[in-house]
Amino acid sequence: MKALVLADRLGKELLPLTKKACVALLPVAGKPVLEYAIESLINSGVSDITFVISADAENVEKTFGAGARWGVRFNYILSRGEEHPYDIIQRINNTEEYLILRGDILSNEIISKTCNKDTPKSELDNFCWIKEKYINKLDSLKSFHQTNLDVIAGKFDKLIVPGRELALGLKIGRKSQISPQSLKQGIAFVGSNCRVHPQAELLDQVVISDNVIIDRAATIESSVILPNTYIGEFVEIKNAIVWSNDLIRVDIDTTLHISDTFLLADLDTETISKSIAQPVNRLLGLLLIIASLPLWLFALLVSNKKNLLKKKRLEGNRLQFDDFGNRKRRVFTAWTWNTRIPILRYLPYLWSILTGDLRLVGVVPLTPRQSEQRVEDWAKVRDEAPIGLIGPSQLNLPTNVPIEEKLMSDAFYARQRSTTKDISYLWQGIGALFSRKAWVQ
């Protein structure tokens, strides 16, 4: 018996999730939806499977290939999307019988029908919605959320959920790091290559997909975290689906796009995550302080003897809560030597890198007043990038240009930021140390 698997849903009812992947590739408890159908068919002895695909067809073929991983044969038919099964069968150039089923839903058992070109169209109407089976159509965001939780709760007992039991109620995938103490109550699934901070808390039912980072003191309750997502420090997620910067509250039917990457971030675009970048930057800051000790002595000699150091209050990268419980950037004291030589003047900023208030590469630090005066949305785009010692604005703009010009330059950098570009700015900064501009003003 051959199988014809329909996986051509357009998934408009699952937006914004289907902006990133078609319904068949949406992850449920560590696997694409379609993979559960494949495993069920293979366990039933089917070895020749034809998939009907539409949206994201190239990625479906790339994900599942020709079937070699399972030792079976896969074929693919392109559809315009959500075609009637009868029309698809009529396009197949043979009279063999097929086991036809939907591959973009979840069920305890294979919900299918045997048919061929002679099967009447009426017999194929709604063939897959068998009420007595435990089934989830994945036809809404709330349904997708609940399906993930139901899978890890064992309601789909015939589905194979990947991973190993780390502790009672906690299953994790390969190369993931999580302390069992993070699961405070309930059950949780953590996919592969995840890092959950020991001080993070998981409550009730939680599904965490592959390549996710949960930072210190974050709280996740009754939620689904999808791949390549960063959850920031102290962030609380409840009754939600999170995918990169999108927060979907299924209990109140609200979708928010979070631009502050200290709260939520897309690890596909953050090539070095905050959890890794912070200690690396601090280590480099320490090394630079040690390497620059002769310059500190020189700065002491050439600075104004009556007032060696000046201070300024700036917003940094570390976060804190205000009196109303809102997260905001912590204001820190930045010191500069009281000298006209630029490279010497900003030497104390290296200490701010060591404390975590600044990064080596990032946008220009602002005073609290400058930050509050930003009212346009474009001026807040810079918040998507870390605050740094050097960057395109610091390297390419004069110090006396209007703040609006700096904000515009920083906004462009934040949207175009990449590790390669940051390394380039770092090299430019090193080269600038030997320029006349660094020593004469």
What is the per-residue pLDDT for 130? Answer: 47
- First-to-final CA distance of the chain: 82
What is the per-residue pLDDT for 269? Answer: 63
The b-or-e profile of 160-181 (16+ CB within 10 A means b, else e) is eebbeebeebbbbbeebebeee
Q: What phi and psi, each to the nearest 5 degrees, are found at residue 316?
A: -115, -165
Is residue 202 predicted with pLDDT exceeding 60? Answer: yes
Tens-digit pLDDT profile for residues 380-412: 888 888 899 999 999 988 888 999 999 999 988
Tens-digit pLDDT profile for residues 420-438: 888 899 999 988 888 888 8
What is the per-residue pLDDT for 441? Answer: 63
**CB under 8 Å to 64, separation ≥6 — which residues?**
34, 35, 38, 51, 74
List the Cα angle 219/225/231 in 5-degree steps: 50
Q: Please answer whether residues 384 and 350 qualify as being in contact, where contact means their C-beta atoms are separated by less than 8 angstroms.
A: no
Q: Does residue 338 or residue 378 have the better pLDDT?
A: 338
Q: Measure the CA–CA gap between 197 and 219, rounded to whole angstroms.
A: 11
What the block records as the tokens of 95 is 């009279």
Average pLDDT of every residue of the chain: 88
Q: Please answer whether residues 107 and 28 qualify as being in contact, where contact means their C-beta atoms are separated by less than 8 angstroms.
A: no
Looking at residues 195-212, what average pLDDT do you find?
Answer: 95
- Pick left, alpha or beta for residue 121 (phi over 0 → left; psi -120 to 50 → alpha; otherwise beta): alpha
Tens-digit pLDDT profile for residues 49-99: 999 999 888 999 999 999 999 999 999 999 988 888 888 888 887 778 888
What is the per-residue pLDDT for 52? Answer: 94
The pTM score is 0.66
Q: How confident is the model at residue 352 (pLDDT cuts 50, 70, 90)?
A: very high
Give the residues across from 254 on adjacent strands: 249
- What type of residue is 219? T
What is the per-residue pLDDT for 131? Answer: 46
Q: What phi and psi, each to the nearest 5 degrees, are found at residue 252?
A: -120, 10
Report the relative pairing of strands 236-238 and 219-225 from DSSP bridges: parallel
| DSSP classification of residue 356 | T
Is residue 270 predicted with pLDDT exceeding 60? Answer: no
What is the per-residue pLDDT for 132? Answer: 45
What the block records as the tokens of 69 is 């991983």
What is the per-residue pLDDT for 127? Answer: 62
3-state secondary structure of 95: coil
Q: How confident is the model at residue 162 (pLDDT cuts 50, 70, 90)?
A: very high
What the block records as the tokens of 345 is 């003047």
Instruction: Give all domains of the chain, ordered by start, each with its CATH number.
Output: 2-136 (3.90.550.10), 162-266 (2.160.10), 274-438 (no CATH)
